Structure 1
Amino acid sequence: MMSSDEDYSLVSDPELQRIQFEINKCKMQYEGIISDQKVLIEACETNLHFTKQFDQRAVTMRAALQAEEKRQEDVLEMEKRKITDLMEEQSRLKSEIQSVQQDIQKMEETNYSLRQQSDVSTAVPERKVVFKGQTSGGGDSSGFDIIARILYPMEGGTALITFEDETVAQHILKMRDHEVQLDGNITLNVQALPVHLLVPSYVELDTQVCPQRVLVSNLPKMESEDRLLDKLEIYFSKRKNGGGEVEETDMLHDSGNVVVTFVENNIAKGLTDKQDHEVKIDGEKNHKIKVTPFLNGKIADLQTRETVCQRSVLLTGISAIMDQDSLQDLLEIHFQKTSNGGGEVDNIIYNPLGQHTLAVFEEDSSTEAQSQ
């Protein structure tokens, strides 16, 4: 067996160097591994720290996000309430607008009606009036008083008698059958019947101002109607007087007024706006006339009711045994006598057999029936 010195001597120096190199190499690798391990540990610790921070930030951001979502939900709910309130306000405003539009329409209709009433009021010719000391209840100022004029067709062989006292007429009707003594020994048997009439109870007129006509009133009395119409036509045909080409002039005999019709539609308005005109009609002196709108009207609504004449009686069954005037006089004489149940006769109309006539009934306290 060899000693240790001998063992070393057996190893050559190159081999030793190689071993020594490997040892050093292993040392270096070990140190590198240790260093890498240290770096990895530090990196792991750093990552753990970052992970912890990230988790904390994630928790904070999650809470912030939840808070933001809650805030957005609150904002959205608030905006929804605002939209609901705005829609309700819009609906209310629409209702108010509709109500205002309806009020405006009513005001326009009222304004139009007032303008029409104003035109109608200016269309009424001036008349001299005097207060008689009597008053009546207030009514619709835009209405008109209408006097009924009723045409009553009379059959042949009948007569109408109007008495001054209605109690006489009612007594004659109650007696019904009457014997009228004529000339000689001739007796005429007649029957007394009530007179039934349909009278207007309500009349509604739709009136419009005519753009082509004017009504001329406050005219002087003249013997020649044609001369008056010629003077008016000459005046209203001149442009300097506000007139134009005249189509025709018509006299309204019941009122004494004149209707002037123009060819053009734009003449009447200017003349009626001025109203008062001075015209040389008779001689050199000017006469002041009034020009007002002419109304075109039609009946929009008519309601009637049946009434019985209180003072009038219809006699039937009258034979044509003598001439009309004589028989009418004898009938009047018979029914004037109180011994026959009669009284003072206001009016009498006799229509012989085979003839047709109309009796006119008017609202007149003195005359209830007259012939036409």
Structure 2
Amino acid sequence: MSAEDFRIVAEDESLSCQDSVLEIKKYKAHYEAIMKEQKILKDGIDNNNYYAKEFKQRAYEKKVSSEEENNKRSKTIQREKEKCRAVLEENTKLQNEIQKMREEMQRLDCKNSNLKKQTEISTAVPERKVVFRGNTQEGAHAVSFDVNPRIVYPMEGGTALITFEEKDVAQKILNLKDHSVQLGDCTITVQAKPIQFLVPSYVEMETQVCPRRILVSNLPKEEPEERVLDKLDIHFSRSRNGGGEVEDREMLHDSGTVVITFIDDKIAKGLSDKQDHDVEFGKKKHKVKVTPFLNGEISQMKICNSECTRTVLLTGIPDIMDKDNLQDNLEIHFQKSANGGGEVEGIIYNPLGHTALALFDEDSPPDNQSES
């Protein structure tokens, strides 16, 4: 190879090396651009991952918050529903109470109307003459009517009722229970037992004015009963006297009054409003008083057990002598203080095989107590 050829080859190699360097630099620059682009892409991916993570976290928190809010809203709605239900129930209850109150008011109005009718009359009780005898009693300001008790007690055979003047004596006899009574040559044993009754302790009555009856009082005492009834019948059956057709008339002997019943229920009120009526008895007139007749029924009654404090029941009495002698011997025995007895106020003996009805009246208060 000649020198010129070597030079050409060398120049070619030199040019080839320069091209390679340039190409390397080119690739290096391209690589660096790629690396820079990759870094930018990596940074973008990292940023996207970060924001994705933040988004997920915020989405989760938002979901939890939304669920909590929904739960709170559901609970609030449930509470409001319960309040509405309670209000509806309370409203229904109040409506029922209002209805009951209306019914009660109607009942009270009706009762008030009846009471008003009763207050318009002077009295429906037969007139009785009263007198003040100088006695007083605590609580006399309380107006009341007393009902005297009258109890009919059926006595068994072989028993006796004995009433002592002092209740302490009766209690002593009851405490001893068995008593040996000497009857001539023989002795009998009787048992002392208390007398108990079921008596009313509280009575409430509903009364109303009868539209067809009147009560006539202040009747002439000297006239026979049949004549009084006939004259009243004639007088009150006449329309000019404000009367009408009479259906029935009845004498109430315990009060000395007459009940007259009319066929028409519009007659009684006019007669009772006038009150005083002059009725002809032969050649003279007598002023009678007409008041409404009250019908009544017991609406409430309470009973309690009541024990006679001065009366003792004697049982187990054999029929060994006549009634009067046996009764006298019993009274003598229980009058003696040695036998635990005392002063006897009353005694009745009912032999075996016989029946008797004992009447118990109100026990009179002692003389040292004041009464009205």
TM-score by length of 1: 0.64
The CA RMSD over aligned residues, in Å, is 3.0
Aligned to 1:317: 316
**What does the per-residue CA deviation read over 1:273-297, in whole Å, with 9 as the maximum and x for residues that have no partner?**
111112233x533222111111222
User: Please, which runs of 5 or more residues in structure 2 have no aligned partner?
Assistant: 1-90, 367-372
1:178-189 correspondence runs (5 A): 178-182=179-183, 184-189=184-189
- Select between 326-335 and 162-171 the one with higher mean Cα deviation: 326-335
SS for the counterpart of 1:128 is coil
Structure 1 runs of 4+ aligned residues shifted over 6 Å read 98-104
1:143-158 correspondence runs (5 A): 144-158=145-159
Q: 1:163 touches 1:343 (CA, 8 Å); kept in 2?
A: yes
SS for the counterpart of 2:266 is coil
Aligned to 2:343: 344
**What does the per-residue CA deviation read over 1:9-32, in whole Å, with 9 as the maximum and x for residues that have no partner?**
xxxxxxxxxxxxxxxxxxxxxxxx
SS for the counterpart of 2:219 is coil
Return the offset for 1:350. 1.8
Question: What is the percentage of aligned positions where both structures have the same residue?
Answer: 60
Return the offset for 1:139. 7.1
Change (3 A) 1:274 1:136: farther
Aligned to 2:283: 284
**What does the per-residue CA deviation read over 1:225-247, in whole Å, with 9 as the maximum and x for residues that have no partner?**
22222222222222222222222
**What does the per-residue CA deviation read over 1:199-229, in whole Å, with 9 as the maximum and x for residues that have no partner?**
1101111222222221111112136222222
Q: 1:165 touches 1:344 (CA, 8 Å); kept in 2?
A: yes
Q: 1:120 touches 1:209 (CA, 8 Å); kept in 2?
A: no
Aligned to 2:357: 358
Change (3 A) 1:248 1:333: farther
Aligned to 1:134: 136
Q: 2:114 touches 2:208 (CA, 8 Å); kept in 1?
A: no
Aligned residues: 270
TM-score by length of 2: 0.64
What is the letter of the counterpart of residue 309 of structure 2? Answer: Q
What is the letter of the counterpart of residue 125 of structure 2? Answer: V
**What does the per-residue CA deviation read over 1:311-335, in whole Å, with 9 as the maximum and x for residues that have no partner?**
1100000112223333223322332
Distance 1:119 1:324 in 2: 58
Return the offset for 1:337. 3.0
Return the offset for 1:117. 4.0
User: Please, which runs of 5 or more residues in structure 1 have no aligned partner?
Assistant: 1-90, 368-372
Change (3 A) 1:104 1:208: closer
What is the letter of the counterpart of residue 336 of structure 1? Answer: Q
1:1-372 correspondence runs (5 A): 105=106, 108-109=109-110, 111-112=112-113, 114-118=115-119, 122-131=123-132, 132-137=134-139, 141=143, 144-182=145-183, 184-222=184-222, 224-281=224-281, 283-365=282-364
Q: 1:346 touches 1:366 (CA, 8 Å); kept in 2?
A: no
Return the offset for 1:110. 6.3
What is the letter of the counterpart of residue 265 of structure 1? Answer: D
